Amino acid sequence: MNFEHTEDRRMLADSLNRFVSEQYAIEARNHVAYGEEGHSPLLYGQFADIGAIGALFPEDAGGFGGQGFDISVVFECLGRGLVAEPLLGALVVGQALIAAGSDAQKEQLAAIIGGTSIAALAHDEPGSHYELNNVATTAVRSGDGWVLNGAKGVVAFGEKADLLLVSARTSGSQYDEAGISLFLVPGNAAGIQKRGYNRIEGGRAAELVLDKVQVGADALLGEEGRGLSLLERISGYAVLALTAEAVGAMDVAKDQTLEYLRTRKQFGVPIGSFQALQHRMADLLLEVEQARSAVINAAAAIADEDRVAREKALSAAKYSIGRIGTLVAEESIQMHGGIGMTWELPLAHYAKRLVMIDHQFGDEDHHLSRYIALSAQH
């Protein structure tokens, strides 16, 4: 396997890292991420202008990338800057449109890639606990359209979204794998009640209640009742993006901790000269490199037609990131001491993000169980 990025990807990474360091310094980031908006529409548009969103999609869809390593390069750069903009929603909804959208539906990709439309996946429900087939929201035919009823939880940027990709059950019972359909719903559709709130690590999320939300027949994405496989595919892209973001954040946390060990003095010498801390730092470096390898495997496997091999690589990466991300957060704070917990130190915000990434699209326990189940199918 070739571990060297292409020249185009290296140039994209350099541009993104430069933009993030100049425009998204930690003070500016925190002001935006913990503010009422949860992100900056101006900066989001600028991310689109420099190609951060376009790199997530193939050329025939209006982008200029779309491969696994394009996605991992972008999100690793975002992780290094703790970027709180809604690029994950753009990736997930955009990939769903590419995979199953009609020509008319795919026209919405241009606004997503251009950064003028915020897209969000509304799938998780209160109590669903990462299970893709656990869908209680219903969609019932009404005339030449559909009526949606139900509740969705922790929808990232759900209150701001211009386009919602909503999972709903068109047949069967709550836990059936068959009978799940996906719908493209305007964010301002009548009948959607939204309760927005700040996430602990920055950014916004919302609880949505769908009360007799009426959509047209053209809102159905893909085949009726066969949305589970598409949900799995787009969740795979989200897992790849999150694991790459975590590696970027880990690198910064690791570098900041290493610098602290070199400069902080105790008993007249840098604390990095103490063997116990050297051993802890060495273990941390090895773990971060293991996480990076897992993400490389996931990026290489994302387009694999062999479902079991693809999903195993993705679950292995998400499990590894969940375990190692928490370890990096804890060890970095431990080696900093009390200052590692303070708001003023950037590390505290990186630690929060690393811990919370584990809880998006399946935590380490969920993906370990999933990996075991997938292995039994081979």
The CATH topology of domain 229-376 is: Butyryl-CoA Dehydrogenase, subunit A; domain 3 (1.20.140)
Rounded to whole angstroms, how far apart are CA atoms 118 and 164? 9
Query: Where do we find the tokens 């701001």?
Result: 160
Encode pLDDT of 4-16 as tens digits. Answer: 778 888 898 999 9
Quick one: 119-226 is in which CATH superfamily? Answer: Butyryl-CoA Dehydrogenase, subunit A, domain 2 (2.40.110.10)
What global pTM score does this model have?
A: 0.96
Break the chain into its structural domains and give their ranges. 7-114, 119-226, 229-376
Encode pLDDT of 212-226 as tens digits. Answer: 999 999 999 999 999
Contacts of 257 (CB under 8 A, 6+ apart): 281, 284, 331, 332, 335, 336, 347
Rounded to whole angstroms, how far apart are CA atoms 36 and 46? 20
- What pLDDT does 3 receive? 61
Check for a shared fold between 7-114 and 229-376: no
Contacts of 192 (CB under 8 A, 6+ apart): 164, 185, 208, 209, 210, 211, 213
265 pLDDT more than 90 = no
Checking 263-269 for CB contacts under 8 A at 24+ apart, the result is none
Return the closest-CA partner of residue 20 out of 55, 54, 44, 38.
44
- What pLDDT does 27 receive? 93
- Residue 378, helix vs strand vs coil: coil
- What pLDDT does 264 receive? 81
Reported as a pLDDT band with limits 50, 70 and 90, residue 81 is very high
Residue 48's Cβ-side half-sphere holds a number of Cα atoms within 13 Å equal to 22
Q: Is the dihedral of CA 221, 45, 240, 362 positive or negative?
A: negative
- What pLDDT does 339 receive? 85
- Token pair in block for residue 9: 């990807």
The CATH topology of domain 7-114 is: Butyryl-Coa Dehydrogenase, subunit A; domain 1 (1.10.540)
Encode pLDDT of 279-318 as tens digits. Answer: 899 999 999 999 999 999 999 999 999 999 999 999 999 9
- Token pair in block for residue 51: 């190609």
Rounded to whole angstroms, how far apart are CA atoms 321 and 361? 12
